[in-house]
Amino acid sequence: MKPNETIDFHLRWGWTKLSRLYASEADRRGIPFSYVFILLHTERAGTPSTQLGPKMGMEPTSLSRSLRSMESIGLIERIPDPTDGRVMRVFLTKQGITARRQARDLVITVNNRLRELLGSESVTRLLEEMKRLNEILDHPEDLLQNIQKQTQ
């Protein structure tokens, strides 16, 4: 099987191009790309920092570095959870809310343009299949079990 015939090749290739696009547009708007998804995934009631990484597929060290940086420039504040002191909740500041609006506009603009170029029907099918793929990948043991049976 050639690399360009694999699912992972197209996922990585597409995400690399899309992330470059987001990064250049985010930079143009004055928001580092690494902040965009943190801003978008931080809930009004605060989000435990441990929940942010898995939502975005971000490693803990990268997330920690970004959160520290975002806090230092006033986009977020981290406050211990009142019910569980071990948990730090991330909240957007007023400046963070403004940055979130810019990040949201960026993501909506890119997605709307992709929808125009690909067509709504294609995007709907793509999202359905990506959701299905993620559901399969949520249970790697099922996937690996079948792979192991085939190699025996």
Q: Domain holding 43: CATH number?
A: 1.10.10.10
Look at residue 3 and tell me if it is in a domain: no
> Side chain identity at 138, as an amino acid letter?
D
**pLDDT by 10s per residue, the chain, length 152:** 898 899 999 999 999 999 999 999 999 988 888 899 999 999 998 999 888 888 787 888 888 999 999 999 999 999 998 888 888 899 999 999 999 999 999 999 999 999 999 999 999 999 999 999 999 998 888 888 867 666 66
Judgement on whether residues 41 and 112 belong to the same structural domain of the protein: yes
- Does any domain span residue 139? yes
Question: Does residue 11 sit within a domain?
Answer: no
Q: Does residue 89 sit within a domain?
A: yes
Q: Give the H/E segment covering residue 124.
A: helix 120-137
104 and 140 within one domain: no
Same domain as 133, residue 112: no
- Residue 45's domain comprises 34-116
d(CA 34, CA 26): 9
73: Cα within 13 Å, side-chain hemisphere: 13
Q: Are 101 and 117 in contact (CB under 8 A)?
A: no
